[in-house]
Amino acid sequence: MLLSPWLGIMSKVIVFGSTGAIGRSIVAKLMDEESVEKVTAVSRSEILEEDFMDKFPDISDPSLFPKLEIMVVDYENLKETLGDISGYDSCVIALGTTRSDAGGVEGFSFFFFHLSFPFLFPSLGLGSGGWTWTM
C-alpha cells in the first residue's frame, strides 16, 4: 500500500510530473489504491479521457478513470495557473527532465532553478499544511 491504511479516510492526491516515466507509474499505483478517491495529474497540456491509456499505460482497470482528473498548468506561470490545491491530502513530486527534453541548457536551467523543490513550494506559499510530501 502506498498510503497508510490507518488513515481510515479516502485520500485525494495531486501528482506533479505525472506524464513522465516515473510519474505515469505513480499515477497508476495511486489509481489502484482503494484508499485514494481522487488522483489529480498535473500536466502542461490537456489529456482527454479517451487518451488516458496512451498517457498512463500502467493503469490496470479503465473503470477507475473517473477518479483521475487532469489539471493543466503553465509551469512558467505556475502560481497563476495552478489554482487552489488546498483540498489535497498528499502531493507527489515526480518532476524531472533531461537537457535534450528541456530544449537545451536554458530549459534545463529553468527546470532546476525555478521548479525544483526549494523553489516550487515557497513560491506557491505552500507550507507543510499537514500534507504528505513525496519526491
Q: What are the chain's domains?
A: 7-134 (3.40.50.720)
Of 12-16, 61-65, 84-88, 94-98, the one with minimum mean pLDDT is 94-98
What band does 119 get if pLDDT is binned at 50, 70 and 90? Answer: very low
Asked if pLDDT for residue 95 goes beyond 60, the answer is yes
Asked if pLDDT for residue 40 goes beyond 90, the answer is yes
Q: Which one has a higher pLDDT value, 94 or 1?
A: 94
How far is Cα 59 from Cα 29, in angstroms, rounded to an integer? 7
pLDDT at 103: 66
Q: DSSP readout, 49-61?
A: GGGHHHH-TT-S-
Per-residue exposure over 4-21, b if at least 16 CB sit within 10 Å of its own CB, e if not: eeeeeeebbbbbbbbbee
pLDDT at 48: 93
| CB count in 10 Å sphere of residue 127 | 9
Asked if pLDDT for residue 123 goes beyond 50, the answer is no
pLDDT at 30: 93
pLDDT at 116: 55
Q: Which one has a higher pLDDT value, 54 or 128?
A: 54
How far is Cα 40 from Cα 19, in angstroms, rounded to an integer? 11
